[in-house]
Chains A and B, each alone.
Chain A
């Protein structure tokens, strides 16, 4: 069965620190990859997505993610986090069809 693993459930960083959240998936075929973010009190929203082409994709608010096919990974990065990045981040994979599988989520807390 397809699955998505997010390595860290809770991350605490100080402002200006660099961020990398790990995401691995288990599916050998073509995949569409997403990162979603849920800010406190807000609905889940798309941060960035990868379908094909350049494996380094850029999203909103300075986030980027790199697709490494050989490692089945799609890690999320940001060079310098801000207090407003405090949120829960979800990695998601769609391997065709209408079913998108989500990881367990990573709660990020940024100290001001």
Chain B
């Protein structure tokens, strides 16, 4: 079955540490996205990538970094510069055209104490 795999499901870190969230897709989709979901705020776009070795900042990119070295992988690093990192992080992909619906992974819940 094709899909998006995010790991781990739960992640705990101490303040000041960088942490990397994994996202892998086997849908052969060109575009990949990272969203952050907070209660009452919906989904906010952190970064997106249309093709390999290219990515753009979304609405809330500060304190985050990404890489896109392979088509199927789009890891997100939450750095110590992110002021409120505790959240639910969702990875998504589309085939590449802007009217394509997003396919989502199951998410990673990050807790920073």
Partner of B41, one of A92, A94, A97, A104: A104
A96 within 8 Å of B (CB atoms): yes
Minimum distance in angstroms from B100 CB to a CB of chain A: 9
A109 within 8 Å of B (CB atoms): no
Minimum distance in angstroms from B54 CB to a CB of chain A: 11
Which partner residue on chain A sits nearest B30 by CB separation?
A: A98
Q: Are A99 and B45 in contact (CB under 8 A)?
A: yes
> Considering the complex, which residues of chain A in the window 12-66 have a beta carbon less than 8 Å from any beta carbon of chain B?
32, 34, 36, 42-46, 49, 51
Minimum distance in angstroms from A60 CB to a CB of chain B: 12
Q: Are B90 and A32 in contact (CB under 8 A)?
A: no
B99 within 8 Å of A (CB atoms): yes
Report chain A residues within 8 Å CB of B94. 98
**C-alpha spacing A21/B101, complex, angstroms:** 20
Q: Are B43 and A102 in contact (CB under 8 A)?
A: yes
